Amino acid sequence: MRCLLFCFCLISFMACQPENSFVAEETTDFDDVDNGLQSYFNSFENEARMRGQEIDLSEYNLTASIEEIHEDGVAGTCSFGSNIPNTIVIDRQFWINSSPNRREMVVFHELGHCVLGQGHRDDQNQNGICLSIMNSGLAGCSVAYNSQNKDYYLDELFGAD
Ligand SMILES: [Zn+2]
């Protein structure tokens, strides 16, 4: 039985400036999740909890890695199906060149697919700003996900069903 849904998430590489901020290591260990991604997985659980959703990512049979994705402009992928583990891959080049906020946006986007079961939402405002971090990257809108607007986007992510 072949049931594999595959989502390529296209995120523009434009205007990403690495920041020299230190992300504290978290203690929770997820099996089969790259060390670099663990703290982002913890943040996802925490942000969900603050919005009334109890999510234990260790229950989702997730495999997550940082490796080279050969397609241009693809920052992350999520594949899932009935007979395979939910698999997230984050592009290594994107990871190296991105700030913690930008990394978080892409990890949360992929978890939005693999864990929250969400598709893409390409709504945008009149200034061309995407109204969801679940945008496909193909709609021509952009997101500058940062500490000022993060709450809006996370409310949108965890409030949608
Ligand atoms: Zn996507």
For 71-110, how does the pLDDT look when each residue is reduced to its tens digit (9 = 90+)?
Answer: 888 999 998 777 777 899 999 999 999 999 999 999 999 9
Q: Where are the domains of the chain?
A: 4-9+31-119
pLDDT of residue 30: 86
* Whole-structure pTM value: 0.83
Question: How many A from CA of 69 to the centre of ligand 1?
Answer: 14
CA of 7 to the centre of ligand 1 (A): 6
pLDDT at 69: 94
Cα(102) to centroid(ligand 1), Å? 14
pLDDT given for residue 18 in this prediction: 45
Tell me what pLDDT residue 85 has.
78
4-9+31-119 maps to which CATH number?
Answer: 3.30.2010
* Beta strand 4-10 pairing with 84-91: unpaired
Cβ atoms of 94 and 106 closer than 8 Å: yes
How far away, in angstroms, is 76 Cα from ligand 1 center? 8
Sequence-ordered list of residues with C-beta below 8 angstroms from that of 115, at least 6 positions apart, any chain: 44, 55, 57, 60, 62, 86
Residue numbers of the chain with a pLDDT score lower than 50: 1-6, 12-21, 25-26, 161
What is the CA(89)–ligand 1 centre distance, in A? 12
Give the contacts of 65 (CB within 8 A, at least 6 positions apart). Answer: 34, 88, 89, 90
- Note the maximum CA span of the chain: 47
pLDDT at 4: 44
Q: How far apart are CA 64 and CA 80, in angstroms?
A: 12
Q: Which residues sit opposite 66 in a β-bridge? A: 90
